[in-house]
Amino acid sequence: MTPLSADDRLALEATFTAYCAAIDRRESAAVAASYYTEDGMMDNTALGSPIVEGRPAVTAAINGMFASMAKLEHFLSNFLVTQTTGNAVQTQCYVQAYGQPNGGAEFGMRGIYRVAMTRIDNEWKIARLTFQHFA
Amino acid sequence: MTPLSADDRLALEATFTAYCAAIDRRESAAVAASYYTEDGMMDNTALGSPIVEGRPAVTAAINGMFASMAKLEHFLSNFLVTQTTGNAVQTQCYVQAYGQPNGGAEFGMRGIYRVAMTRIDNEWKIARLTFQHFA
Amino acid sequence: MTPLSADDRLALEATFTAYCAAIDRRESAAVAASYYTEDGMMDNTALGSPIVEGRPAVTAAINGMFASMAKLEHFLSNFLVTQTTGNAVQTQCYVQAYGQPNGGAEFGMRGIYRVAMTRIDNEWKIARLTFQHFA
């Protein structure tokens, strides 16, 4: 495994944290989608959603979340880099998510995000974000 | 945004984490208050408390928490630096707090800490700590 | 306190996070035990378990957890290095653990891990892991 600098490790964690902050702020789906590569994928098949691919589709999916959910909170922890190959890395973190559908009751959910990230023009971008339940 | 070194980023997170550890240990309000600048502010207006300013007032406010609460736990996550201007930075983190008032039932609370920090004599200090509920 | 490099601080946190990931994946107790020093100790006396010492005993204790528990999840946060002496450091983190005994109901638990770590051949290993309840 190619060693990553401390700056890179912190940037990877900060990028994914900033993405989740953009989701939780609910200001702009386009801003949230800009954390993905142009052809980035969001894979929530574990939650019954189809895979979405490419920033326009990701933006639409995030707008869908904003429209249906009155509240979204993603508490991240246990960040790990699990594989490094040049400018492509696999990371993971645990998530405790809280949400509230419009007119519904708040619910909590725990799981693991597998986050493939790619360095493009010296910035880390999400190439594929996959939610998984604990085994 | 001025780039921060990895050492600075880790020191910012470690400073705020150590502050919360001092609160949760309940040993010394003066030690907890020493993490603030001399004129540091604690802004819990979102929780119905008045803003307190300056280490003596912060110490008194923390002693008030220690006197009224049988238990305090602050689980921090999603640490981000959101703005940097020389020796002044804006950071934020998510918090899952658990508390138990004397003779009362345990409760949990989630929110965001906005933490303005200032570098003084090569140490990061809390200039203003603001608790916010999620939007 | 001897200053630690950013690489070391990140490696300490990553090592303990990877250990907990190995526990939560439930794949191999031997792999999980390999994060300890040869004579490493796991001290769960706060949970009513005897102290176990040495990798074979730690492996057996972890296999015991795997056999009795249908699910294990360790959400870590508030990582701090509290003492550094050459190649020996004291760290701590908060943990929100979720478990489910076979045939039983899921439960949650919060506490603090005190983790003594030692650098051996340029790798950080767990010398002693102690679980504590909040005071």
Residue A80 near residue A13, CB atoms below 8 Å? no
- B62's CB contacts (< 8 A; 6+ apart) are B23, B29, B32, B33
State how far Cα C46 lies from the chain centre: 14
- Is A134 close to C71, i.e. CB distance below 8 A? yes
When CB atoms are compared, the residue of A17, A24, A77 closest to B134 is A24
Q: What would the mean pLDDT of C79-104 be, rounded to a whole number? A: 97
Mean pLDDT of chain A: 96
The first and second tokens of residue C23, run together, are: 């526990």
For tokens 């001025």, the residue is B2
When CB atoms are compared, the residue of A6, A110, A135 closest to C6 is A6
- A73's CB contacts (< 8 A; 6+ apart) are A24, A97, A98, A99, B94, B110, B134
Which pLDDT does position C34 carry in this prediction? 98
In 3D, which of A115, A118, A50, A52 has the Cα closest to residue A85? A118
Model confidence pLDDT, tens digit, residues A86-132: 899 999 999 999 999 999 999 999 999 999 999 999 999 999 999 99
- Is B71 close to C134, i.e. CB distance below 8 A? yes
> How confident is residue C47, by pLDDT bands cut at 50, 70 and 90?
very high
Bridge partner residues of C130 (DSSP): C43, C114
Instruction: Give the whole-angstrom CA distance, residue A99 versus residue C50.
Output: 40
* C59, pLDDT greater than 70: yes
- B73's CB contacts (< 8 A; 6+ apart) are B24, B97, B98, B99, C94, C110, C134
- Is A79 close to C17, i.e. CB distance below 8 A? yes
Bridge partner residues of A81 (DSSP): A91
* B103, pLDDT greater than 80: yes
Bridge partner residues of B77 (DSSP): B94
The first and second tokens of residue C53, run together, are: 């010492």
Q: What would the mean pLDDT of A37-49 be, rounded to a whole number? A: 97
> How confident is residue C93, by pLDDT bands cut at 50, 70 and 90?
very high
**B60 Rama sector, left if φ>0, alpha if ψ -120 to 50, beta otherwise:** alpha
Show the CA angle centred on residue C107, arms to residues C102 and C109, nearest 5°: 130
Q: What would the mean pLDDT of B129-133 be, rounded to a whole number? A: 98
* A2, pLDDT greater than 90: no
The first and second tokens of residue A43, run together, are: 């894979």
Amino acid sitting at position A133: H
Instruction: Give the whole-angstrom CA distance, residue C78 versus residue C61.
Output: 26
> How confident is residue C135, by pLDDT bands cut at 50, 70 and 90?
confident
| Complex confidence, ipTM | 0.96
* Residue C46 in contact with partner chain A when CB distance is under 8 A: no
Q: What would the mean pLDDT of A69-81 be, rounded to a whole number? A: 97
* B135, pLDDT greater than 90: no
Instruction: Give the whole-angstrom CA distance, residue B82 versus residue B87.
Output: 14
CB-based contacts of C25-30 (< 8 A; 24+ apart in sequence): C25/A135, C26/A135, C26/C66, C26/C72, C29/C59, C29/C60, C29/C62, C29/C63, C29/C66, C30/C59
Which residues in chain B have their CB less than 8 angstroms from residue C79's CB?
17
The first and second tokens of residue C65, run together, are: 């957890």
- Is B14 close to C78, i.e. CB distance below 8 A? no
The first and second tokens of residue B134, run together, are: 């999620």
* Residue A85 in contact with partner chain C when CB distance is under 8 A: no
3-state secondary structure (DSSP) of residue A94? strand
Percent above pLDDT 70 for chain A: 99
State the DSSP code for B2: P
Rounded to a whole number, what is the distance in Å from the CA of C20 to chain A's nearest CA? Answer: 9
